[in-house]
Amino acid sequence: MIADIYNYLDGNAAAGELSKIFVMDVTAAEGQCAHCGATKRFAEAHLYMQCPGVVARCAVCQNILLRLVNAGERVWLDLRGMTYLMLETPQLSDSLSPK
């Protein structure tokens, strides 16, 4: 399906780009692939950066999980390849968790 299987990085490598948008570290978050249902850390996704933006694919089924494109003063973010992202918020859990 993909000609060069060694042209990707780990989802870890998107941490800098994602830190421009999200306050929390998304790469350590757990996400579910909307196509195959695999549940993995975003850091484990396959990341393709040799394109106008960043594309992250599911390490199991290669479905596109995330697309991020910088265009001038805008950033486009497509997350429809994931059904959810679960972020750990230890510093917030006391105040926000249900009693």
Provide the residue type at 83 as one letter: T
Residue 92 burial class via C-beta count within 10 angstroms: exposed 0-12, middle 13-18, buried 19 and up = exposed
Q: Which stretch binds other proteins (CB under 8 A): 1-9, 65-73, 75-83, 89-97?
A: 1-9
Q: How far apart are CA 70 and CA 68, in angstroms?
A: 7
For the segment 5-44, give every residue that binds other proteins (CB under 8 A): 5-13, 15-16, 19, 25, 27-28, 41-44
CB nearer other proteins, residue 19 or residue 83: 19
Q: How far apart are CA 67 and CA 35, in angstroms?
A: 15
CB nearer other proteins, residue 6 or residue 94: 6
For the segment 51-90, give every residue that binds other proteins (CB under 8 A): none
